[in-house]
Structure 1
Amino acid sequence: MVTPGSRTRLFDRYELLEPLGRGGMGVVWLADDTVLQRKVAMKEVNVPADLDPDEAEAMRARVMREARAAGRLNHPNVTTIYDVVRDDSRTLIVMEYVDAPTLTEVVTREGPLPAASAARIGLALLSALEAAHAQGIVHRDLKPGNVMVPAAGNVKLADFGVAAVQGDPKITMTGLIVGSPSFMSPEQAQERHATAATDLWGLGATLYYAVEGVPPFDRGAAIPTLTAVAREPPRMVSRGTALEPLLLRLLQKDPADRPTLGEVRAELVTAVDAGTPTVDAGVATVAGTPTLVEGDHPETDDGDEPWVDEDEHWVTETARRRRGAWPVLLVAAALLVVAWFVLPRFLGGGETPNDRQDTTEQNDRDKQRDTTELEDRDSQPEESAADEEQPRQGGEVEVPADWVGHDVADTGSTVAYPAEWSVQQRDDTTADIRDPQGGRYLRVQYTDSPKDDAVADWEQQSQSFGTRHDDYTEIAIEPFDYPGADTSALWEYTYSDGGAQLHAYNLAIVIGGRGYALNFQTRENRWEESQDLWQQFVAGFDPAL
């Protein structure tokens, strides 16, 4: 272990200045190269104390071999390895010093990035991986902490010192995890061979962190996190919806199911073109980026979501026991689900407040072109009449014959959904059903301790939600005439998230002592086309009394 004193000199060349960071493989120091008169980063690779001499020597040999392999890389998006030095007790890798924050530091300081900005960083990382893979080098530890994001210049991928060279014999080191559990791939978690597809998983996990602000699988400790990586789906994407389809493909458990480098590049370019980022390829500080946007469903980082807040909402102690460490994460995901699917025709009696306005007021609105599209739509008398005929519970809506069913917890209740949509069981009380094309979600939640007034609870949550979301508009909260329900309410609202205009329904149903929520969200430009789908979801819910 190197301990810096006053200008500690190593190998008669490098003077240690200060530690830059610490990782699973060792400490990184800022140092002066006194021969070439430049600042360098020196990574000291520590040998775990519990390794026997043969294993320790094998590890040192591996470091030397991998450093030599990584030293062959000469790419503007890769930190250059200058030298590797070793004596009887120490092995250090001498690398290019990049005076820039890591992606972890950028997100911590600035908040999650817009999808287009993250995609630009992704393209830089992809270029680095292409260069490495062309030489048979797998990074194996691609994570935000290894991504350097300068205020000007190129994004750089660092720490190829733990790269695995394809074809080299595997060195087994008992008890040593090389990599970061939150960003390790399933094959690494299960101690299988790392390939180029392993780095694509790391890219997906890193981009997920960039747009969401949290890792996709972190559970607070190494073993639970590795278990989630190997067996569980990632957390729902709440901010970076433009990148969601790509992220889900990159985070496939089977390496063979992950996209190719070319496919990833095409989707990242599309995401860049679709947005208007304020950063260049090497800049990650984004003016005005919010520190947190909770997402599609009205919930927040402090547990305040319309359906499962631990203090205010319908789900009480039973759901808290089942959720364990999940509440904050589910909060960020559930907001996405609620914030996207509610139509006036379903609000109490099939009428909206605008439906009940008189014809004179309607004609006045028809003459004004500065009224909103929503007001124009809701004020049409023929729509009001049609809405009067719509069954609010969806009983007359036909559920497509090719839809499949999902069991809601262990209640015997089911909800039908399109066969091509995917289901992610978040915990015992919550499941997410998502459109494979991205952008639309249905979240189904259950509690055995519901509140007794759905309207009052939704009104309370609307006030709370509006204080923490941009451009929030409560369109309506009204009783919902669900057959046999003790209490039921439908909440419709809109808000903006990262520049995207979102529209949502949240339907609460308390029946037979059980509480359910059907939360449906979409972008505003898909709201009208999604109404039939929403009616089918409502009609396809069976409380199984």
Structure 2
Amino acid sequence: MAPQEQLVAGRYRLLHTLATGRMGKVWLAADEVLHRQVAIRKCVSPAGLGADEQEQVRELTMREARAFAGIGNPNVVSVLDVLPDEDEPWIVMEYVASRSLLQVVQDSGPLPPARVAAIGLAVLHGLTATSRTGVLHLDVEPASVLIGDGGRIVLSDFGPPVTDEGVHAPAPAGTVPGSARYVAPERLAGGDRTAQADLWSLGATLYHAVEGRPPYAGKPLEAIGVGTPDPPVRAGPLTGVLEGLLQCDPAARLLPSEVEDRLRRVAEPTAPPAPPPAATPKPARSRHVRWAAAVAAAAVIAAVGAATGTARDGHRPGAHPTVTASPTARRAVVLPPDFTWWIDPTGFRVAVPRGWRHSREPTGELTFTAPEGRPTLRISRSAVPPDDGVAALIAEEDRVRLGSYRRIRIEALPAPHSAVWEYTFQNRSGGQLRALRRLQAVQDHGYAVEWRAPTTAWAAQLPKLTVVLDSFGPAAGR
């Protein structure tokens, strides 16, 4: 019987493989009783274990699954069922349509500090919730952090079972459990497995997200624990958090409460105070402002998705963190010399490259086109309320019919933006294009800003896209 035809427990029909790891393979399956999709994992003991050790792994796996089933935290993948088997148990989990943090960084490059901090808050909440059950994760890495299509951040792919009392699944001699570049130094040295080890792995994961590579990249594993990782260059306000987590001595690492406080300050920066009433406002400088001479690809990510779009629920552990911003805040933007302002009569302004042609459809859609025909910038009014951005983009995705379509992401964004949809497709001429569509509010109106460029030229056009997205907002005097 082919794997995709297998019916587990007379209920779960395997569809296709989602992932393969040290502790087994994960399939997407159809629950034929409740008519929903689930993720189901066939647990496998690590190779090289004796019969007694394999039985210990099975027992701990069942204990771990039962513990996770009672967590009920939105930042931890939910366990729905545990199915004992003659060979190895099956664990049925919720299916989260998502990309891993590793995929996000591979597709889009290093992420901005604010967004990484928001992701870190969600992962920290997940780790805190699991630690209350007496079970540790011990496999935190970019591949085990899922960025859901709706903005939800979920911790998944728990490693070899281990309890906080130190009882853990044995590993074959000479092997390093977990992904070595994200494993705490004390674990590499065969020491205790504690919650502090998960914090080190959290730091290594956030380092990768903001720097685009793991700490100690290019160095032998022996360097972990005896030296410090390369100083981060993109982390900015996250630098102190990374340094506090990546301490070789577990006792010197930041406490979870300290990590949460520091991450929240980066993810939710305090807005600058308003000028005193008596102060004379300076003339608006709508055509001049700040411009970084060298725009890195990471800046585009900052403009496109500065944070996850999950809803903030105070400071309650387990709540979805997000970055908030004032929808009325108007940033000054200094334009490069090859850009000019377009002031639209409908109430918005946007910076566009000089020499680009513009046209307007009867529907009101405005299109700017490069002299060579690509890239293109399209701006249209959107009747969708900003809060419904992700749902609207998913519904729009269901309606479109594009050749060789592949979604890169659909994510919520902080105000005044609503959501972003990034994808690739093939046009009628056979050209491979990449597109980014962002919804946002300007005053009381919603707009969709879409950028399309050849896939091969996407990276080279990122600086232009950064300027466009960063500049879009209300026209002067609005």
TM-score by length of 2: 0.55
Match of 1:331 in 2: none
User: For residues 279 and 245 of structure 1, what CA distance do their matches in structure 2 show?
Assistant: 19
Match of 1:281 in 2: 308
Alpha carbons 1:20, 1:29 under 8 Å: kept: yes
| SS of the residue 2:10 aligns to | coil
1:143, CA displacement in angstroms? 0.9
Instruction: Choose from 115, 118, 122 the match for 2:116.
Output: 118
Instruction: Choose from 106, 130, 133 the match for 2:131.
Output: 133
User: For residues 240 and 188 of structure 1, what CA distance do their matches in structure 2 show?
Assistant: 26
**CA separation of 1:173/1:162 partners in 2, compared to 1, >3 Å: closer, same or farther?**
closer
Match of 1:232 in 2: 227
Within-5 A mapping of 1:420-435 = none
Opposite residue 34 of structure 1, the aligned amino acid is E
1:168, CA displacement in angstroms? 5.2
Match of 1:166 in 2: 164
1:171, CA displacement in angstroms? 4.1
| SS of the residue 2:28 aligns to | strand
User: For residues 238 and 38 of structure 2, what CA distance do their matches in structure 1 show?
Assistant: 35
Match of 1:20 in 2: 18
Instruction: Choose from 242, 245, 266 the match for 2:240.
Output: 245
Alpha carbons 2:57, 2:161 under 8 Å: kept: no
Opposite residue 101 of structure 1, the aligned amino acid is R
User: For residues 196 and 47 of structure 1, what CA distance do their matches in structure 2 show?
Assistant: 23
1:135, CA displacement in angstroms? 2.8
| Larger helix percent | 1
1:249, CA displacement in angstroms? 0.9
User: For residues 123 and 43 of structure 1, what CA distance do their matches in structure 2 show?
Assistant: 27
User: For residues 262 and 15 of structure 2, what CA distance do their matches in structure 1 show?
Assistant: 42
Query: Which piece of structure 1 moves more, 43-52 or 235-244?
Result: 43-52
**CA separation of 1:111/1:9 partners in 2, compared to 1, >3 Å: closer, same or farther?**
same
Q: Percent identity?
A: 38
Match of 1:260 in 2: 255
| SS of the residue 1:20 aligns to | strand
Instruction: Choose from 58, 83, 106 the match for 1:60.
Output: 58
Match of 2:29 in 1: 31
User: For residues 207 and 4 of structure 1, what CA distance do their matches in structure 2 show?
Assistant: 39
1:89, CA displacement in angstroms? 1.8
Alpha carbons 2:97, 2:149 under 8 Å: kept: no
**CA separation of 1:49/1:269 partners in 2, compared to 1, >3 Å: closer, same or farther?**
closer
**CA separation of 1:253/1:468 partners in 2, compared to 1, >3 Å: closer, same or farther?**
farther
Alpha carbons 1:55, 1:173 under 8 Å: kept: no
1:183 and 2:182 correspond: yes
Alpha carbons 2:164, 2:194 under 8 Å: kept: yes
1:97, CA displacement in angstroms? 0.6
Alpha carbons 1:155, 1:282 under 8 Å: kept: no
Alpha carbons 2:138, 2:197 under 8 Å: kept: yes
| SS of the residue 1:137 aligns to | coil
**C-alpha deviations, 1:169-190, integer Å up to 9, x for none?**
3443333543111111012111
| SS of the residue 1:246 aligns to | helix
Alpha carbons 1:4, 1:18 under 8 Å: kept: no
Within-5 A mapping of 1:107-506 = 107-160=105-158, 162-167=160-165, 169-175=167-173, 176-219=175-218, 224-225=220-221, 227-274=222-269, 278-282=305-309
User: For residues 141 and 88 of structure 2, what CA distance do their matches in structure 1 show?
Assistant: 26
**C-alpha deviations, 1:478-498, integer Å up to 9, x for none?**
xxxxxxxxxxxxxxxxxx9xx
Alpha carbons 2:4, 2:16 under 8 Å: kept: no
1:38, CA displacement in angstroms? 1.4
User: For residues 170 and 17 of structure 1, what CA distance do their matches in structure 2 show?
Assistant: 32
1:151, CA displacement in angstroms? 3.1
Opposite residue 195 of structure 2, the aligned amino acid is A
Alpha carbons 1:26, 1:46 under 8 Å: kept: yes
**CA separation of 1:41/1:469 partners in 2, compared to 1, >3 Å: closer, same or farther?**
closer
User: For residues 213 and 188 of structure 1, what CA distance do their matches in structure 2 show?
Assistant: 24
1:279, CA displacement in angstroms? 4.0
**CA separation of 1:44/1:228 partners in 2, compared to 1, >3 Å: closer, same or farther?**
farther
**CA separation of 1:258/1:168 partners in 2, compared to 1, >3 Å: closer, same or farther?**
closer
1:469, CA displacement in angstroms? 12
**CA separation of 1:72/1:4 partners in 2, compared to 1, >3 Å: closer, same or farther?**
farther
**CA separation of 1:204/1:96 partners in 2, compared to 1, >3 Å: closer, same or farther?**
same
| SS of the residue 1:47 aligns to | coil
Match of 1:45 in 2: 43
**CA separation of 1:161/1:93 partners in 2, compared to 1, >3 Å: closer, same or farther?**
farther
TM-score by length of 1: 0.49
Alpha carbons 1:185, 1:202 under 8 Å: kept: yes
Alpha carbons 1:141, 1:163 under 8 Å: kept: no
1:136, CA displacement in angstroms? 2.5
4+ aligned runs moved over 6 Å, structure 1: 467-471
User: For residues 235 and 207 of structure 1, what CA distance do their matches in structure 2 show?
Assistant: 14
1:70 and 2:97 correspond: no
User: For residues 252 and 2 of structure 2, what CA distance do their matches in structure 1 show?
Assistant: 47
| SS of the residue 2:225 aligns to | helix
1:145, CA displacement in angstroms? 0.6
**C-alpha deviations, 1:439-475, integer Å up to 9, x for none?**
xxxxxxxxxxxxxxxxxxxxxxxxxxxx99979xxxx
1:91, CA displacement in angstroms? 2.2
Opposite residue 281 of structure 1, the aligned amino acid is T
**CA separation of 1:171/1:247 partners in 2, compared to 1, >3 Å: closer, same or farther?**
same
Within-5 A mapping of 1:77-88 = 77-88=75-86
Alpha carbons 1:102, 1:146 under 8 Å: kept: yes
Query: Which piece of structure 1 moves more, 33-42 or 154-163?
Result: 154-163
User: For residues 266 and 5 of structure 1, what CA distance do their matches in structure 2 show?
Assistant: 46
Count of aligned pairs between the two proteins: 286
Alpha carbons 2:22, 2:46 under 8 Å: kept: no
**C-alpha deviations, 1:385-444, integer Å up to 9, x for none?**
xxxxxxxxxxxxxxxxxxxxxxxxxxxxxxxxxxxxxxxxxxxxxxxxxxxxxxxxxxxx
1:137, CA displacement in angstroms? 2.5
Q: What is the RMSD computed on CA atoms of the aligned residues? A: 2.9
Opposite residue 13 of structure 1, the aligned amino acid is R
Opposite residue 94 of structure 1, the aligned amino acid is V
